[in-house]
Amino acid sequence: MLLIRCPYCGDRAEIEFANGGEAHIARPADPMTQTDEEWAQYLYMRDNPKGLIAERWRHAHGCNRFFNALRDTRTDRFVTTYEMGQPRPEIDAAAAAEAAR
């Protein structure tokens, strides 16, 4: 069973959660100033890394809150979860290596 640590409820089974896509994508403050290419970049273009990704999750069958998580896309290991609005945490090499293991 894959556990995800909700910042509010603690460790819960993955089945209680919904993925919300990549985190820290800022909507342009004034869309009318954007070129089509810039707007497409905001709407569609994602990093899709092989390794650590910061993404949004929602505790859909729990407290119903969105939060952010750092996950390794190769191993599905979660390094950490953190509240919305906080910057992406810095991860040391040992934690990154553990997530990739």
Partner 1 sequence: MSDTMQLARSGFTLATAADRRRFVLQARPGTLDAAARALGLAEAPAMLATASGGAVTALRLGPQEILLLLDPAGAGDSLAALRTGLDAVAHSLVEVSDRQVGLDLSGALVEPALASLTSIDVALPAFPVGMATRTLLGKADGVLWRTGPEQFRLEIWRSFAPYISGLLDEAARDAAF
Residues at the interface with Zn ion (CB under 5 A):
6, 8-9, 59, 62-63
Count how many Cα atoms sit within 13 Å of the Cα of residue 92 in the half-sphere of its side chain: 1
Q: Which of 1, 5, 3 is nearest to 82 (CA)?
A: 5
Stretch binding partner 1 (CB under 8 A), from 8-16, 19-27, 32-40, 47-55: 8-16
Smallest distance from partner 1 to CB 45, Å: 32
Q: How far apart are CA 74 and CA 100, in angstroms?
A: 7
Total of chain residues touching partner 1, rule CB under 8 A: 12
Q: Are 19 and 55 in contact (CB under 8 A)?
A: yes
Q: Kindly tell me which residue out of 61, 74, 76, 89 binds partner 1, with binding defined by CB under 8 A.
A: 61
What DSSP character marks residue 33? G
Q: Are 52 and 80 in contact (CB under 8 A)?
A: no
Q: Kindly tell me which residue out of 39, 65, 77, 98 binds partner 1, with binding defined by CB under 8 A.
A: 65
| Residue 18 binding partner 1, by CB under 8 A | no
Residues lying near partner 1 in the complex (CB under 8 A) are found at: 1, 8-9, 12-13, 15-16, 61-65
